Structure 1
Amino acid sequence: MQGVFAQSPLQRYVHQFNAVDSETVQNYVNNAQAYEWLNKNIPLLECPDSIIEKTYYYRWWTFRKHLKETPDGFIFTEFILPVKHAGRYNALSCALGHHINEGRWLRDTQYINQDIRYWFIADAQQKAPKFHQFSSWAEWAVYENIKVSGDPALAIDLLPYMDADYHLWEKERRLPDGLFWQFDVKDGMEESISGSRKEKNIRPTINSYMYGNAVAMAAMAKLAHNDTLFKKYVADVAKIKSLTQDSMWDSKADFFKVRLAKGGLSDAREEIGFIPWYFNLPDDQAFYARAWQQLIDTTGFNAPWGITTAERRHPAFRSHGTGGCEWDGALWPFATTQTLKALSNLLRDYHYKGGMTPAIYYEMLRTYARSHQKNGQPYLGEYQDEKNGYWLKGDNPRSSYYNHSGFCDLVINDLIGIRPSLDNKVTIDPMVPWKWFQLSNIPYHGHLITINWNYKSKGFIIFVDNVEKYRGKKLKSVMLAL
């Protein structure tokens, strides 16, 4: 009699996803190859929350759909179908920071490293480069990527290109006072309440991104022993931080807002006001942390299906109709990813937390996971109605598998709490409410880490390359030297 073997969670989910997929586009890894490729590359999750577990695997399954081999190396696309505003190979830079954050957890580093090289080198050599079509926190993401790989060679090699990229942003978007302006459409956030396609508004987006990029450039210049660059970027970090807090903080609304070119601050709180915490920009002060109360306020950003892109109480909320790309209140996974990362940083890195807790993070992440559905099937699109979860692009095929956000990184880096560093240490700081879980085969500095938690039996165990390195009775933050 032939033996019967239970499928692993990955096998089960890939089978489910493949079964309902028309696969109109095939890139480097087709559906038939999906299980084998994912099994070789991704950390494997088992947990009691079926919504988060299923969405975790669905997001990896959709992510590999976008892996494309080109004459200039591997890239990850944003749209599964060609779009007219993309560059060569259907490449777009808007969500590059999200792509790098997700891709850094793949065991084979060539995919995300070649994608990074494409944007900093190959695209820059074109007659009409597309990298600055959208604002970017790419330098920051490169630094976060090498924290996981443990290999600074990529960053050191790309340092001159990244420095040139930063200079180009200064030339294109920096004002004499030192802050940066941007059109909302060039943030990838068109038709916002505060935004404009013509006015040079000072936005929390690009200024936070450039702050993060400067922080990363200082760190990478130090790795390269380039004291001149190091000092330059340390100075710019302090400058952007001070100017952002002085110019964009609305003390009456307790929120970071857009400063309008015509004068004054916007009268709208928008989700982009949380982005400064994505890069730990704000000072650790109670009055800044009060902004986070808006996250859980149902007249603020808290809606049944997720985090709205503008406060629900504002008269212009959802005022632009539907079917375009409106950021006037609807839910965007792109922005949700940024806000949840910012919230995770607030919880771990700040004394003043504005009333936020790990339980709030978990429920917000779970709501985000639940939103990945359409007609009873797993789905990822562009943006959603905040009340009923309807995908506002409808059945437009360009919207399917929209690789414009992150999820797996939020589980690995933030919920389960794999906090990387360039020294040969790792901090594991879970924020889970679960009584058991396992995350296995996490690539880190050339090793594979497995984390196992079971409150009833073995407790909290951490393995490195299948060797037990830690065992404790409680689920708590642990720092390991490798």
Structure 2
Amino acid sequence: MASSRLGLQLAVALWATTALTSSPALAASPKLDAHAIATARFGNDAPWYEGNIPLFESSDPKLDEIYYYRWSVYRAHQRDLGPLGYITTEFLDDVGWQREPYASLNDATGFHIQEGRWLRDRRYAGDYIDFMYEGGGNDRHFAEYIADATYARFLVDGDQDAATRHLAVMKHIYALWDDRYDFDKKLYWIEPLLDATEYTISSIDASGGKDGFRGGDGFRPSINSYMYANARAISRLSTLTGDQAAAADYAARAEALKVEVQKSLWSQDFAHFIDRYKVSNEHVKYWEPIRGRELVGYVPWAFGLPDDTPAFAQAWKHAIDPDELAGPAGLRTVEPSYEHYMRQYRYIKETGEPECQWNGPIWPFQTTQVLTGLANLLNDYDQDVVTRADYARMLAQYTELHFKDGKPNLEENYDPATGKAIVGLDRSHHYNHSGYVDLVISGLVGLRPRADDVLEVNPLAPGDPTDPHFLKYFSLQDAPYHGRLVGITWDADGSRYGRQGLVVTVDGQEVAASPTLKKLTAPLARKPAAPIVRPINQAVNLVLSDFPRGAASAGGDAKTVHQALDGRVWFFPEMANGWSPGLDKKGASAKQPWFAVDFGKPVSVRSAELSFFADDKAFAGPSRYRLEAWRDGKWVEVAKAPAPLANGVDRTTWTPVTTSKLRAVIDLAPGKDMRLIEMKVF
């Protein structure tokens, strides 16, 4: 979609929103125009978002832009595995360390679930959790807190059956982590690389400062907080099933870990949670503490582990100190006082480009954890070290990182001095290794998920109009919660929505209000979670040599043909995805190219979804196409698409037929190539 067209649509949407919300009749429950906003933000792909994501607007246009951008990142990373359902990927395309053939990785799964829990279509988070526990997705490749994230989803949708059905596997996986448990120290340990954080203080120092990609096994605040959270989640889920023995067992495990983390991983010298070495060699010794502060020391607060004491609260001073962890552009992963701070060890051999390290660069992964922990601190602890202003400032810094050359494109890690990407490789575009939407909804706006029948709202937006990150207004609309739709609106002076103050609504009806930004609660009678509809895509090919198989009339190299059936749909221009027939030598469009799927057996089919890419340059959506089924030894037309969409999903239906093959015969736009991103068949 041309940028000028997108800008015009966005302007129209914002005008429409303002016009609607300025009406006094709507003052108590301002209504954002879902269709206009979705169309402006997402163009032809708007149907995926409309009626699915919570709407949001504020007086900060960058905050708004990245809120919606992060939903587009989430959507782009939904991979359809056919009968196995949807999973959320970390990288858009394949990487060498993913779980084959699914392209899954489990290190950022917790973020993915916490983002996806805010969708009205519960299939994406639900399928993903099922895959983690039924499909082998939680292979413990990396340290994880997936049981805790599953419980966090339950706090939003209230679906007890979905949350508890995997308890047996959760317990089994919890027990498997005994291979990283020191029974003498009563703590878990892990290699930093397998904590998704290579080149930390422990791994660099364990190498004598020579490297740090591997090694440096340590008792880390991260894995022990994850295991604490998983044990607590298993306990709470067991309570839901009436298994009091298991609930007591895992509650005791969580409490024991909490005691040991606070006793052994808290450093009085650093006033921070830090690693201790598991490894012992000529450079470091078992149980010695590392020699500096790292951002990972805030992970315990992301799960509410630390006690509410003034001593522990002092750790947060380091997050706002510019000489320590607070960089000019964001949160450093290691302090600049560390000997090997920002020293680049690892490069791509072929190009010399820098690779990932955690010895100082900003990482959205840990920035998300810190902001989650800070939200918990501001909500649940009695302290005066940090304030809502600090939350808003850190969130604004994080928001700014999402822009590359003025456009949203989140990559892997960033220079804390400049905010420029360090690792910006071909694989890095629109990297899904962190959270953001949940930080806005549960943090900034303050919708705090609870297990009981109480709606709690506590915005972390600053209340001081002189604060540089003060929001004159914001509105969250249609956030699904306990089977209801919650709205939260703030208007500092009444000029935006016709009513001054904070207003909370449920299904459009006001339930609480305040003239100032403050914590509000209201009784909330829950309703059953919306049922999940799971149509199965019969055309997915996960293994190249298996059925279903793709074939094409032209331009049919194995990789691109496979991409058109691999269950991935994204419209970002930075990374090509899908099959193109190409132009002839004179630059003319191919004559009715076709793309076919061979199911390998007779199947009943009744609809298809074709996704085409367009960039207003080389690629355009087709003029038309028709779908043909293989019947009695010949191709028979079953449907036509006279005006297909590009950069969206084009859906076609027909009377069900049984066939072993289906193909799309395509008429291209004159002088333009075409890219078929994905063909799904149902």
Q: Same fold (TM over 0.5)?
A: yes
Structure 2 matches for 1:35-434, cutoff 5 A? 35-71=46-82, 72-87=84-99, 88-123=101-136, 131-195=139-203, 197-261=214-278, 262-263=285-286, 264-321=288-345, 323-353=354-384, 355-394=385-424, 396-433=425-462, 434=471
Give 1 or 2 for the bigger CA radius of gyration: 2
Cα distance in 1 for residues equivalent to 2:344 and 2:147: 33
CA 1:107/1:17 → structure 2, altered by over 3 Å: closer, same or farther? closer
Cα distance in 2 for residues equivalent to 1:102 and 1:447: 18
* Secondary structure class of the residue paired with 1:133: coil
* Secondary structure class of the residue paired with 2:490: strand
Cα distance in 2 for residues equivalent to 1:464 and 1:43: 13
Alignment of 1:470 onto 2:482? no
The amino acid of 2:369's aligned partner reads Q
Cα distance in 1 for residues equivalent to 2:448 and 2:272: 28
Task: Pick 1 or 2: higher relative contact order, CA cutoff 8 A, min separation 6.
Answer: 1
Deviation of 1:473 after TM superposition, in Å, equals: 2.5
Cα distance in 1 for residues equivalent to 2:358 and 2:113: 24
Cα distance in 2 for residues equivalent to 1:175 and 1:335: 28
The residue aligned with 2:476 is 439
Cα distance in 2 for residues equivalent to 1:219 and 1:53: 35
Cα distance in 1 for residues equivalent to 2:35 and 2:369: 30
The amino acid of 1:7's aligned partner reads A
Deviation of 1:388 after TM superposition, in Å, equals: 1.6
Deviation of 1:450 after TM superposition, in Å, equals: 1.1
* Secondary structure class of the residue paired with 2:456: strand
Unaligned runs of 5+ in 1: 19-30, 125-129
CA 1:352/1:462 → structure 2, altered by over 3 Å: closer, same or farther? closer
487, 490, 493: which is aligned to 1:450?
487
Unaligned runs of 5+ in 2: 1-8, 18-33, 204-211, 279-284, 347-353, 463-470, 525-682
Deviation of 1:52 after TM superposition, in Å, equals: 1.2
Deviation of 1:123 after TM superposition, in Å, equals: 1.1
Cα distance in 2 for residues equivalent to 1:175 and 1:16: 56
Deviation of 1:199 after TM superposition, in Å, equals: 4.1
Contact 1:13/1:57 (<8 A) preserved: no
Cα distance in 2 for residues equivalent to 1:221 and 1:132: 22
Cα distance in 2 for residues equivalent to 1:475 and 1:331: 31
More moved, 150-159 vs 134-143: 150-159
Contact 2:410/2:430 (<8 A) preserved: yes
TM-score (norm: length of structure 2): 0.65
Deviation of 1:471 after TM superposition, in Å, equals: 3.3
More moved, 328-337 vs 313-322: 313-322
* Secondary structure class of the residue paired with 1:341: helix
Cα distance in 1 for residues equivalent to 2:97 and 2:370: 26
| Greater percentage in strand | 2
Cα distance in 2 for residues equivalent to 1:12 and 1:290: 46
Cα distance in 1 for residues equivalent to 2:59 and 2:52: 23
Contact 1:103/1:112 (<8 A) preserved: yes
Cα distance in 2 for residues equivalent to 1:235 and 1:399: 41
Cα distance in 2 for residues equivalent to 1:406 and 1:176: 35
Cα distance in 2 for residues equivalent to 1:245 and 1:467: 45
* Secondary structure class of the residue paired with 1:132: coil
Deviation of 1:109 after TM superposition, in Å, equals: 0.7
Cα distance in 2 for residues equivalent to 1:84 and 1:12: 41
7, 12, 20: which is aligned to 1:6?
12
Runs of 4+ in 1 over 6 A off after TM superposition: 9-18
Cα distance in 2 for residues equivalent to 1:467 and 1:14: 24
Q: What is the aligned-residue RMSD (CA, Å)?
A: 1.9
Deviation of 1:462 after TM superposition, in Å, equals: 1.7
Cα distance in 2 for residues equivalent to 1:472 and 1:360: 23
CA 1:192/1:371 → structure 2, altered by over 3 Å: closer, same or farther? same
* Secondary structure class of the residue paired with 1:7: helix
Contact 2:202/2:216 (<8 A) preserved: no
